[in-house]
Amino acid sequence: MARKKKTDEPKQNPSNPLGENAHIPGAGEVQNQFITYTLESNYMPYAMSVIMSRAIPEIDGFKPSHRKLLYMMYKMGLLTGARSKSANIVGATMKLNPHGDQAIYETMVRMTRGNETLLHPYIDSKGNFGKAYSKNMQYAASRYTEAKLDPICGELFADIEKDAVRFVPNYDNTMQEPTLFPVRFPSVLVNSNTGIAVGMASNICSFNLKEVCETTIELIKDPDFDVAETLKGPDFSGGGYMIYEADKLREVYGTGRGSIRIRGKYAYDKSNNCIDITEIPPTTTSEAIIDKVIEHVKAGKLKEINDIRDETDKTGLKITIDLKRGADPEKVAQFLFKKTPLEDPFPCNFNVLIEGTPMTMGVSDILLEWIAFRTECVKNRTHFELVKAQDRLHLLLGLEKILLDIDKAIKIVRETEEESDVVPNLMIGFGIDEVQAEYVAEIKLRHLNREYILKRLNDIEDLKAAIEDMQDILKNKNRIRRIIISELQDVIKKYGKERRTQIIYEDDIAETQEDEDIPDYPVMVFFSREGYFKKISLQSWRMSTAGHKLKDGDEIVQELEVNNTDELLFFSNRNQVYKMRVSDFDECKASTLGDFVGTKCEMDEGETAVYMAVVKKYEGYMLFFFANGKVAKVDMASYATKTNRKKLIKAYSDKAPVTAMRYITADGEFVLKSSAGRVLLFHSGAISSKSAKDTQGVNVMTLKKAQTLVSVADYKEGQFIKPSRYRSKTLPAAGALLSAEDSAEQLKMN
């Protein structure tokens, strides 16, 4: 429970006998309270304020600081007028955003064309606004720079004067500001946005405007449309290359979370023997790349480099790397991609405020929310225009009655003694209401002629048609959809651009293997049924007298003498394969359990290794024997990759349970046994190989209903008295039962 205790009494001041703090209630007391109360009363309101009003963008793609700044620029007439000093813009924005001029100016800098942060900048700038790709290129003070709104902002403010969005009072209640912008395109995905709140963050990458608008159009037509068909991937202002990984991209599109690998762009200048880097990922800077390269050069890992320097100028980014004579530029570039931020993942976290609630959503969900938001904007705009048209029609209908007798109207005005009686007398004389009479009374004398009135009355039919059309729009959802589609198509025509970030596919990347100083010597490797792996030096294995230490019920199923530089392929029970090197494992003794492969390879929960293949070169075949009697023969080359991927999905077919696996460098014979006790001697050369890893294979052993292939063993010469009994000239074959001469002891099955 909470309790109070008084501190020592304050010392008395002769001039103030009641003490210095006597005028402050509760001063000098310590309040003990539960921390939960402090969190609820103090911390939680602060956290919610940061989330709602600072760090997380809303469906229009803007944070409050962005919105306040752009709206004040709009009110200053900077959409069509000349540029204004940035200091003036910052000062005006203080009316809406009283957080200091420096904070406002930094917000403004990021949205300018000169800073090159946004794919479609909102501010047309003049002067030095720094560069997003350099931390050392600082922007000039606000008194030296000028700015105005970029033409694309016309799509942000087009309907703002037509009650399309809600307005609220500013912090001191002296003016109104919009809660959202009635954006005509999904700006939330067109420009990147990053924010860190309390307990949550947002990191939205930018996409190509044309692709976003086309995707939105397709979603309007079909809410179940697959956005990956038209939205190829992120598009950044700095260009570069996006490495296309379908699974990761679909994860980002579906959940709003994940990462996408972006690599920089370089060119080899043969005449000067140097590499020029001109585009880099948006998550790094030129200084960070240079520092990392220098670090590797000093460590002796990049011996091919003579010099590196930043040659960035007004033409754009340029990092030049001078190479030594005879150096391979492709090899150096691949090292830079692996070991420096020249290739960097962009972490996606599509966290957006939807009606005050932070939500992490995929691309489809965000676009569907934007469509719903834009639909309301179009409805509000149409309703605003409808009311104005109805009011205008109402006035013209009153004017129409005046047309019947203009002289009577003049006579009523002339004969009315008091000005206040003019409107009531017109109402009585023509049977019109007060609003109509007020309108007629305000008409100048020079306009009370038939020509003027007829021109006004010609608008009546047009207004009636327009009102009918607007009423139909409000009732017809399809009309609203067509309006939004038309606006999106218009945005594409005005502002659509080709992609800056090019797409390259992972399998098309030719990566050179890094030369590592891995000692090459023979070792013994052991793999157990439960998925444990041991690497033991030959000397240690020969000197070992004790047997293997294993878990209860476990046994060694594979024992091979290999080299330390060989590669290991661990096939799992989830139809996946994990690639490692023998050198990735530490040497151990037979008296230890060894490494659990599932942990070492970072396999999924519940996934275990069931077979190990050791390869020097990706030659030969993988054989998969399935319980349904089929055998798949896959080229080992299918498991070789140009990239250093450690995990390959769909490593073998999942259509039937697998009974056994074998890695062979040359075709040979195998003994297949069914649950019915039949034995088939099968030669792997009888079937052709496939390049598809998940091929279902071909029928080799004929099985009756409920029968399965239960075991597979390598055939050993002399294993059977009459091996021809178990061979077959055609496949599939049922095999034969064991003869009396061939006892169970002669048949050694795994």
DSSP 265-317: EEEEETTTTEEEEEE--TT--HHHHHHHHHHHHHTTS-TTEEEEEE--BTTB-
Question: Helix 209-221 vs helix 477-495: angle between axes, to the nearest 10 degrees?
Answer: 160
Cα–chain-centroid distance for residue 31? 47
Per the structure block, which two tokens stand in for 463? 């207004």
Handedness of CA 607, 611, 613, 618 (dihedral sign): negative
**Nearest C-alpha neighbor of 709 from the set 745, 734, 684, 746:** 734
Per the structure block, which two tokens stand in for 668? 């040979």
- Which residues are 698's β-sheet partners? 631
Angle 409-395-411 from CA coordinates, rounded to 5°: 5
**Backbone angles phi and psi of 560, in degrees to 5:** -140, 150
Give, rounded to a whole angstrom, the gap between the first and last alpha carbons of the chain.
Answer: 69
Helix (H, G, I), strand (E, B) or coil at 172: coil
2: left (phi over 0), alpha (psi -120 to 50) or beta: beta
Q: Exposed, middle or buried, 5 (CB in 10 Å: 0-12/13-18/19+)?
A: exposed
- b/e burial code for range 190-221 (CB count within 10 A of at least 16 → b): bbbbbbebeebebbbbbbbbbbbbbbbbbbbe
- The number of residues in the chain equals 750
User: Parallel, antiparallel, or unpaired: how do β-strands 257-263 and 265-269 relate?
Assistant: unpaired
Catalytic residues: 144
**Nearest C-alpha neighbor of 321 from the set 255, 275, 376:** 275
**Backbone angles phi and psi of 319, in degrees to 5:** -110, 120
Asked if residue 630 lies in contact with residue 700, where contact means CB atoms within 8 angstroms, the answer is yes
**Nearest C-alpha neighbor of 663 from the set 652, 654, 674, 672:** 652
**Nearest C-alpha neighbor of 213 from the set 295, 120, 338:** 120
Asked if residue 736 lies in contact with residue 678, where contact means CB atoms within 8 angstroms, the answer is yes
Rounded Cα distance between 488 and 126, Å, is 30
Angle 196-197-201 from CA coordinates, rounded to 5°: 55
Asked if residue 150 lies in contact with residue 115, where contact means CB atoms within 8 angstroms, the answer is no
Rounded Cα distance between 256 and 275, Å, is 36
Q: Look up residue 319 and give its DSSP letter.
A: E
Rounded Cα distance between 514 and 261, Å, is 20
Rounded Cα distance between 430 and 426, Å, is 6
